[in-house]
Amino acid sequence: MRPMTLFTGQWADLPLRVVCEKASAWGYDGLELACWGDHFEVDKALADDAYVSEKRRLLESYGLGCWIISNHLVGQAVCDHPIDLRHKNILPPRIWGDGDPEGVRRRAAEEMKDTARAAAKFGVKTVVGFTGSKIWITLAGFPPVPPEMIEDGYRDFADRWNPIIDVFDSVGVRFAHEVHPSEIAYDYWTTKRALEAVGHRPGFGLNFDPSHFIWQDLDPVGFLRDFADRIYHVDCKESVRHLDGRNGRLSSHLPFGDLRRGWDFVSVGHGDVPWEHCFRQLNAIGYDGPISVEWEDSGMDRELGAPEALAFLRKLNFSPPTAAFDAAFASSST
């Protein structure tokens, strides 16, 4: 049975020990550790041999495992253009440095390499994260975007990420890119193009999070089927559409939780994701990795949402049958 984990990114304001206590009491099997707060610090993991063993002992003391670490925030800065106040607000000061954009990108790239090394040291085989994108700013299509500008964006992504994935390969860790608006791969066709840009190398795969498919009117089940060999991790996050003729899909620069938005994140089981179809497709493609709850909902307390989401998903986390249901019809006794 696939382990059920809690992604700690939305809980990084709490000490890891407190998150462990809560997740264990709610019945989670483990944590997907975020590389911010005190949950998993890449520099400390590499500098101190005792750091990773202490993290493991803490998890084990609460009966929890860890199969994935996530470094979305630093990964975002590897390819992004422009680099600005948004990045300063999410990056460690040692990565931001003096704020020179190319310096930030290069330090972020080195940190992602170190994330692979730290994951290997911790005994984790998959790192989840973002890539950033030089060309997300061209999405509206005006001023007119020359094709060579898009081509340059994918070359830039490949040039910056291939050396990172070289390190992942060398230490036996895979990178799972979360398909997400503002990234180099944010929908079906950009995912195909991103995989082509890095030559379909096995070290670069995908983190499946259907919440970003729903508001874009994409089919999450078909995505699982078509990219079956690239699904390296699953994050369960939910979104709901509120497209009523006033509320737009681009959400009008309104914050999450504002009822004038055209869509919003909600706790698992409260939105538009076809979860049972997704889980049946995960069974069909043979995915046996962790199922991680990434809890986000501006209208619900997280202390209610996290255990409720776990209970909802456990009912769907069933194993496929070992034989066809009608196999007995063809049996004969002698």
Please write the tens of the pLDDT for every residue from 180-236: 999 999 999 999 999 999 999 999 999 999 999 999 999 999 999 999 999 999 999
Averaged pLDDT for residues 90-98: 98
In this structure, what DSSP letter does residue 319 have?
A: P
Kindly state the percentage of the chain with pLDDT values over 90: 94
pLDDT of residue 320: 83
Find residue 34's DSSP bridge partners. Answer: 70
Domains and CATH numbers, the chain: 4-329 (3.20.20.150)
* Of 198, 139, 144, residue with least CA distance to 174: 198
328 pLDDT more than 90 = no
Run of H or E residues at 279: helix 275-285
Could you give phi then psi for residue 170, rounded to 5 degrees?
Answer: -65, -25
Tokens read off for 7 = 């992604």
- Provide the whole-model pTM: 0.96
Contacts of 257 (CB under 8 A, 6+ apart): 264, 298, 299
**Cα–Cα–Cα angle for 209, 247, 239, nearest 5°?**
20
Is residue 332 predicted with pLDDT exceeding 80? no
Q: Is the pLDDT of residue 96 over 90?
A: yes
Smallest CA-to-CA distance from 79 within 185, 190, 208, 216 is with 185
